[in-house]
């Protein structure tokens, strides 16, 4: 069954919208050439804005096709935005919708700077606040729980009596490794999907480390995270026994692969949500691993909680404090890994005594 697109691709936008977009985001060929007002935004940011605006145009085309021929500014009003919000699928949460509206405001600010679009920000903030109130009811989850879940998935995959070449063993072990990996190193979604063996995952003594150049991070700051000995050994097993037989591994160095080839960040996102929901009873998306790390650190080591800034890759502590209430990335990664391993060892000792 063909999946219906939820946005209008740039090539299908009305001509006037494409003209305004190009003028707003064009980059000059030389130092003295004219640039658009949004030319300084990163390619990733421009893609996000283009997607959000494409979603709004999709809504207009479905519900008010006659308005596609109007001036872009004439389409956006309070009533239209309210309808646009209601048009989103039930699976689209308040926080996500608030981001769409914020991005819509940014687009309009760039292509129609003469108009005042600040009211869109107000609506976005109201919806975001509503979403945060709902999230207070969610189950709390910390890194220790997620790490244990990942380990259990890997161990379970190898203890069910099937060979490592079995598809169910390969996917369960891989998914467990992704979850345990994220519990220790809560990378952003895009960066997680980019990881390649030998480029981002590198040998560090007897173990492994994650070495990410600035160009592959949102903050444009390089990260280096050493992995624990236990996780390094599990990565060794994955690279030697689990990954090679997967049919989609040929010709690529991506760390996370499926039978269709490298796993996109979207595929990883869906996989982690499915695995965590099955085990915990509720889905944990990739960004919640970052919340989980901040929560775990604040409880276990409140004195050094500012280290969360480096673990999460924030440029300043203000960003961390705003979102998580919360020296270098190497120290941050080691501290979280050590805390989780100490907890695991203590639990094992208690079990042996019992």
- What span, in angstroms and rounded, lies between the C-alpha atoms of 275 and 27? 43
pLDDT for the residue 55: 93
Nearest residue to 288 via CA among 273, 302, 275: 273
pLDDT for the residue 344: 63
pLDDT for the residue 131: 66
pLDDT for the residue 205: 87
Residue 313 above 80 pLDDT? no
pLDDT for the residue 20: 92
pLDDT for the residue 45: 79
At a CB cut-off of 8 Å and minimum separation 6, what does 87 contact? 59, 62, 63
For the entire predicted model, the pTM comes to: 0.54
Residue 139 above 70 pLDDT? no
Band of residue 340 on the pLDDT scale cut at 50, 70, 90 = low
pLDDT for the residue 249: 86
> How large is the average pLDDT for residues 243-256?
89
Compare 27 and 83 and report the one with higher pLDDT. 83
- What span, in angstroms and rounded, lies between the C-alpha atoms of 315 and 309? 8
Nearest residue to 12 via CA among 64, 66, 63, 50: 50
User: Which region among 215-229, 249-263, 294-308 has the lowest average model confidence (pLDDT)?
Assistant: 294-308
Q: Give per-residue pLDDT as tens, 95-137.
A: 788 888 999 998 998 888 888 888 998 998 888 887 655 554 4
Band of residue 346 on the pLDDT scale cut at 50, 70, 90 = low
Band of residue 282 on the pLDDT scale cut at 50, 70, 90 = confident
Nearest residue to 313 via CA among 295, 297, 333: 333
pLDDT for the residue 46: 86
Q: Phi first, then psi: give them for residue 41, nearest 5 degrees.
A: -70, 150
Band of residue 233 on the pLDDT scale cut at 50, 70, 90 = very high
User: DSSP state, 1?
Assistant: -
pLDDT for the residue 217: 63
User: What are 15's two structure tokens?
Assistant: 């001509």
Do 275 and 286 meet the contact criterion of CB atoms below 8 Å apart?
A: no
Q: Give per-residue pLDDT as tens, 21-72.
A: 999 888 765 444 457 788 877 777 788 889 999 999 999 999 999 999 888 8
User: What are 149's two structure tokens?
Assistant: 């879940």
Residue 353 above 60 pLDDT? no
pLDDT for the residue 17: 92
- Termini Cα distance of the chain: 54
Do 320 and 230 meet the contact criterion of CB atoms below 8 Å apart?
A: no
- What span, in angstroms and rounded, lies between the C-alpha atoms of 289 and 192? 12
> How large is the average pLDDT for residues 228-244?
93
pLDDT for the residue 202: 92
Do 288 and 306 meet the contact criterion of CB atoms below 8 Å apart?
A: no
- What span, in angstroms and rounded, lies between the C-alpha atoms of 234 and 53? 43
CATH numbers and ranges of domains, the chain: 10-135 (no CATH), 143-353 (1.10.443.10)
Nearest residue to 184 via CA among 209, 206, 202, 220: 209
User: What are 177's two structure tokens?
Assistant: 């490794």
Q: What's the gap between Cα 88 and its chain centre?
A: 20
Do 36 and 25 meet the contact criterion of CB atoms below 8 Å apart?
A: yes
Residue 155 above 50 pLDDT? yes
Residue 220 above 50 pLDDT? yes
Q: Give per-residue pLDDT as tens, 175-218.
A: 999 999 988 888 888 888 989 999 989 998 889 998 888 776 66
User: What are 342's two structure tokens?
Assistant: 């100490």
Residue 221 above 90 pLDDT? no
């Amino acid at each position: 069954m063909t999946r219906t697109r939820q946005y209008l691709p740039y090539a299908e936008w009305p001509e006037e919208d494409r003209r305004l977009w190009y003028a707003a985001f064009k980059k000059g060929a030389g130092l003295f050439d004219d640039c658009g007002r949004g030319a300084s935004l990163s390619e990733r940011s421009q893609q996000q804005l283009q997607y959000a605006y494409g979603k709004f145009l999709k809504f207009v085309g479905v519900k008010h096709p006659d308005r596609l021929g109007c001036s872009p500014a004439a389409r956006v009003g309070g009533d239209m935005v309210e309808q646009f919000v209601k048009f989103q699928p039930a699976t689209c949460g308040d926080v996500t919708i608030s981001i769409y509206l914020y991005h819509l405001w940014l687009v309009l600010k760039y292509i129609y700077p003469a108009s005042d679009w600040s009211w869109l920000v107000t609506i976005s903030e109201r919806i975001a606040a509503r979403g945060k109130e709902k999230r207070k009811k969610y189950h709390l989850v910390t890194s220790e729980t997620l790490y244990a879940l990942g380990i259990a998935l890997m161990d379970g995959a190898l203890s069910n009596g099937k060979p490592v070449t079995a598809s169910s063993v390969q996917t369960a072990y891989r998914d467990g490794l992704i979850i345990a990996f994220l519990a220790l190193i809560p990378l952003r979604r895009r960066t997680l999907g980019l990881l390649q063996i030998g480029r981002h995952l590198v040998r560090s003594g007897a173990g492994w480390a994650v070495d990410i150049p600035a160009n592959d991070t949102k903050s444009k700051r390089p990260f280096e995270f050493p992995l624990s000995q236990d996780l390094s050994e599990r990565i060794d097993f994955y690279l030697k026994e689990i990954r090679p037989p997967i049919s989609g591994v040929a010709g690529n160095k991506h760390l996370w692969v499926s039978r269709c080839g490298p796993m996109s960040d979207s595929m990883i996102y869906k996989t982690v949500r499915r695995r965590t929901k099955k085990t915990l009873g509720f889905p944990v998306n990739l960004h919640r691993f970052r919340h989980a790390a901040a929560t775990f650190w604040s409880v276990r080591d409140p004195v050094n909680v500012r280290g969360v800034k480096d673990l999460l890759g924030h440029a300043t502590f203000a960003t961390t404090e705003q979102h998580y209430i919360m020296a270098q990335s190497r120290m941050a990664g080691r501290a979280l890994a050590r805390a989780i391993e100490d907890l695991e060892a203590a639990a094992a000792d208690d079990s042996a005594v019992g």
